Structure 1
């Protein structure tokens, strides 16, 4: 086979994986569905790839945060009761603002899914797209993860840290940074924007006194700092508890925890039936 044909085939596989990833990631509000996809990636790695496990917590925590945010917005919008049109405009802008962050979560899930499985197949980076790259350090870390799983060899805490760090940097630089900047720049409700810049993130596995208090969520450096703290806390409490504590949000159905493998398989089949697109396993 010539190299050009092989490269074309690899690109087609990557695009197929991306398409599959976006189908599985669901619609904007399907945060629980994305959490199950994230967990599937963690499980598929034999517990070596911690990035999707913590991302599952992020999705489930966000479902409650968005709900509280919309309630807060409805209460604060009462000051505009004298102008029904203005109140509706403010609430619509808040909903769009929240949707921008839901879209970020959806994109991260789909693109992470495609990258994880592409490297599992080819042990190499996909072809870079405009504004979207893959660092050698990330690819090396993913390939090491896949090799470790296949050989059933140990994957040390240091290697887990490195894989999480590289994966987290990748999602920030390629997806999160430009979209977060655009979301804040386009939102013009000062009091809600003030609150949105200073979230108090408390994942279910953190424990008392370990929440992450942001001073400026729009800061890439602060997001990376807090993200690494979330990872280190996961290692402190143990990854078994981090996985178990997904129950504490009360968002994922009980059937998910009874058989995560079957739940994911059913999700694939539901996507195919709902969208009329067959997702062939790769």
Structure 2
């Protein structure tokens, strides 16, 4: 292994370990939202994917809690077969955990991709770690940041789409398919396949109700729609709307950079690089 390859692999392993610690446990959705926001803030507002992913994590916290309550109510149909009822509820919890794990894995890989490309975006072997389209989009982001230039909206869209299609192909698609295959509860399955996404910056959730969440085409369509609605609302308003979920602490909104640094200190991670751009 030559020197460049060795440095690249060492930094990948270091960043990935760091990302795994920052992403926390399955239920640390608020913590992950702050990590996602760090990626948006560190990019100077150029990398919109993690900002919308932060909304997904915070919305998911309430959605999963509601789903557990609904599942408990629906399990009353098995009231006279306690063993079956407990089995169904265990399935429901496992199903919810599968989606929390998707959010955790996306956080880990999004953090790794962003910081690895920032350090080694032009390295010869970087293609072993990042897909070409995502790498090219991240490199444009980092270049604009280094020059202190804004990232035009079409280029922001390309970066979001590259991130989103990557997560759907590598993480979300296979995990959703597996989670649905293990859920043997037709009524809950029907509910799970038809969520209405209600991020806090949406003016209306009318066109964000799924007819089939198992459909990759529909997930991509809805994901790109969430991005378009963010640009229409204005990214500053989308960022401010993170407060509406009531999950992140006031310390985050007082000084998000200090909040992220405090998280790193709590996890015994080295001091993060300051946001630039």
| Aligned-residue RMSD, C-alpha | 1.4
Q: Is the 8 A contact 1:256 1:263 kept in 2?
A: yes
Higher relative contact order (CA 8 A, sep 6+): 2
Residue 19 of structure 1 deviates from its aligned partner by: 0.8
The answer for the alignment partner of 1:21 in structure 2 is 19
Residue 5 of structure 1 deviates from its aligned partner by: 2.2
Distance 1:214 1:166, change over 3 A: same
Select which of 169, 179, 185 maps to 2:181.
Answer: 185
Select which of 208, 226, 239 maps to 1:212.
Answer: 208
The answer for the alignment partner of 2:57 in structure 1 is 59
The answer for the alignment partner of 1:175 in structure 2 is 171
Residue 16 of structure 1 deviates from its aligned partner by: 1.0
Q: Is the 8 A contact 1:202 1:211 kept in 2?
A: no
Select which of 263, 272, 282 maps to 2:259.
Answer: 263
Q: Deviations over 1:140-186 (max 9, x none)?
A: 11011011111111210011001000110111111111111100011
Q: Give the 3-state SS of the residue equivalent to 2:253 in structure 1.
A: helix
Q: Give the 3-state SS of the residue equivalent to 2:16 in structure 1.
A: helix
Q: Quick check: 1:251 aligned with 2:235?
A: no
Q: Is the 8 A contact 1:48 1:160 kept in 2?
A: yes
Number of aligned residue pairs: give it.
Answer: 271
Select which of 103, 110, 113 maps to 1:105.
Answer: 103
Q: Deviations over 1:68-120 (max 9, x none)?
A: 00000000011111121111111111000000000010000011100100000
Q: Is the 8 A contact 1:21 1:110 kept in 2?
A: yes
Q: Deviations over 1:180-204 (max 9, x none)?
A: 1100011111000000001000100
User: Where do 5+ consecutive residues of structure 2 fail to align?
Assistant: none
Q: Deviations over 1:42-69 (max 9, x none)?
A: 0000000000000000000000110000
Residue 227 of structure 1 deviates from its aligned partner by: 0.3
Residue 121 of structure 1 deviates from its aligned partner by: 0.4
Q: Is the 8 A contact 1:115 1:126 kept in 2?
A: no
TM-score by length of 1: 0.93
User: Where do 5+ consecutive residues of structure 1 fail to align?
Assistant: 273-277
Q: Quick check: 1:159 aligned with 2:149?
A: no
Distance 1:63 1:222, change over 3 A: same
Residue 281 of structure 1 deviates from its aligned partner by: 4.8
The answer for the alignment partner of 2:37 in structure 1 is 39
Q: Give the 3-state SS of the residue equivalent to 1:201 in structure 2.
A: coil
Runs of 4+ in 1 over 2 A off after TM superposition: 124-128, 208-211, 278-282
The answer for the alignment partner of 1:233 in structure 2 is 229
